[in-house]
Amino acid sequence: MDDKTITFNEVPEAITVLIEKIGNLENMIEATLNSKPDEVVWMNVDELCSYLPAKPAKQTVYGWVCSKFIPYHKKGKKLQFLKSEIDEWLISDSKEKEDLEAAIEEQTMRIRNNIRRRSL
């Protein structure tokens, strides 16, 4: 039925196809309106550690917070991280990703040195 003249006998079939397409469009519009793309998702330190690709230790994340390397929010005594801010932070410039890897390595070395000092 695409790009051709419809005869009188084909009108009922054409109307059926149009009704189906309109129904599909209504469903798509309704799904779009009901979705919440700006949903706010908060994560605690444990959730953040499992969410990040590098799977850093909690101590590493605390080090990043202390040096203000990672976006965070503090509500009372609790650290919270907004997922959208973390996603932006992860997607940011590749230079910052290199800085992240360097910070992870640096924090790992600090933790190892502290463990060695305690065991002596």
Q: Is residue 59 domain-shared with residue 30, that is, in the same domain?
A: no
Q: What is the mean pLDDT of the chain?
A: 85
Q: Is residue 67 domain-shared with residue 50, that is, in the same domain?
A: yes
User: What is the per-residue pLDDT for 1?
Assistant: 46
Lowest mean pLDDT among 3-7, 45-49, 63-67: 3-7
Q: Is residue 6 domain-shared with residue 62, that is, in the same domain?
A: no
Q: Is residue 62 domain-shared with residue 99, that is, in the same domain?
A: yes
| Domain span holding position 22 | 1-35
Stretch 32-54: mean pLDDT = 85
Q: Is residue 17 domain-shared with residue 53, that is, in the same domain?
A: no
Cα–Cα distance measured from residue 92 to residue 98, given in angstroms and rounded to the nearest whole number: 11
Q: Is residue 5 domain-shared with residue 28, that is, in the same domain?
A: yes
Stretch 39-56: mean pLDDT = 92
**Structural domain total, the chain:** 2
Lowest mean pLDDT among 17-21, 33-37, 66-70, 72-76: 33-37
Q: Taking a C-beta distance cutoff of 8 angstroms, is the pair 84, 43 a contact?
A: no
Q: Is residue 26 domain-shared with residue 46, that is, in the same domain?
A: no
Cα–Cα distance measured from residue 11 to residue 8, given in angstroms and rounded to the nearest whole number: 5
Stretch 100-120: mean pLDDT = 80
Q: Is residue 24 domain-shared with residue 56, that is, in the same domain?
A: no
Cα–Cα distance measured from residue 71 to residue 52, given in angstroms and rounded to the nearest whole number: 13
User: What is the per-residue pLDDT for 16?
Assistant: 93
Q: Is residue 31 domain-shared with residue 82, that is, in the same domain?
A: no
Task: Specify the DSSP class assigned to residue 10.
Answer: G
